[in-house]
Chain A
Amino acid sequence: MTALTIDGVTVSFDGTAAVDDVSLGLEPGEVLGILGPSGSGKSTLLRSIAGLERLDAGRIAWHGDDITAVPVHRRGFALMFQDGQLFPHRTVAQNIAYPLRIARTPSHARVAELLALVGLAGFGDRRVTELSGGEQQRVALARSLAAEPRLLLLDEPLSSLDRELRERLAGDLRRILDETGTTAVFVTHDQDEAFAVSDRVAVMIGGRVRQTGTPAEVWRRPASAEIARFLGYTTVLGGDAARLVRPRSDGAIALRAAALVVTHGGPVAATVVRSTPSVDGWRVRLAVPGIGELDGIAGAQHPVSAGEAVTVRFDDAGIAELS
């Protein structure tokens, strides 16, 4: 049975719909990633699920029971904010124990267990103001899990962290969600993060859900040019141009830079327009006859410069067919 049902939810601010007639479902134990650019209404949707926003229309149900009118604190959900929102006047342990005390089940053992789960064993007596950003987010996660929420809501939990930490914590987050069997909704603007953590993603643009599916489905078959561009595809081709890249395709295709690789003796001729060094070699802009200018890559062993005539091959890893 569907755990969470979001049915035709609309939330407006001063007459403008931030969330516009959104319907989604979530299975027990599933982790749903809501992926969208900033201002797409994804955080507002998350806050609506938590009960922090008044709905202008629609309903939210948990295992079939309408919870639209249930106040925030009775929903049994937990929401973790981008910047943690730890209570500065409490220690790490007191922060984590907060939901336990509300439930009248205070337990030092449970706090220690949660600290160990997020990799902060022994941090209990620290002041939260002494912690680094990554540590604060771990504490916030532990605090949310302490509530044993029926549903965990995560609002860009990793966005305020630097890249290396973000990638490591994304892995930890997925592991912790698996270990605890938590049903979760996770909001982010970062595709890598969404794909690393979620079972299924919903792409939200302009207040509406434009596509849902597994990360692989969405990645391989974006539903529109707009979604493809948001996912990092730089070019969308249709008609004859598309068939030049992929003869079998009958619709539009989207290309990332990785789709076009400069190779000796490749099947297609091209001229280098611009070339910039990158960590893996070169990022190039290529003029391809019959298609136009496309982004591509060249290996470190292939130094190329503007004006040079080269040959290229197409790599399926960088190509998606629009569904």
Chain B
Amino acid sequence: MITIKAPKDFCAGLSFILISGVFLYVAQDYPRGSALQMGPAYFPTTLAGLLFLIGCVVLLRSLVIAGERVGALAKREMVLILGALVVFGALINTAGLIVSCAALLVIGSLASGEFRWREVAVFIVALTTAAILIFYYALGLPFKLGPWS
């Protein structure tokens, strides 16, 4: 029976193998070339290969040498904060800065676990105004402000 003795290392090793796997998989279509004429795949494949090896060692080590536990993941915070970013990204080019700021702040504030409507409303007004003044007017960045513009 195999037991995981070092959960942190186990997860780390697994992630290394996963990431190296993605790079190796995508790079297999690229020409490798030779040392004299390094092709597009030469350097990345070498790096990913090395990463794969390290991943395996770290993974195997976690089965032998005891180590720390991973600890509770902040699932709620993770989903809400990353979700807020994705929503902001999806809205910024269509609905514009004002709408996406409001959406980001509402979803993001939920993550703190102490959601207060009045506070969030103040935030939306204050921060959106600040963002428009700084980025749109002062720095002249080409933002779409609202769905109308």
**Bound together:** no
- Please report A residues at the B interface, Cβ cutoff 8 Å: none
- Please report B residues at the A interface, Cβ cutoff 8 Å: none
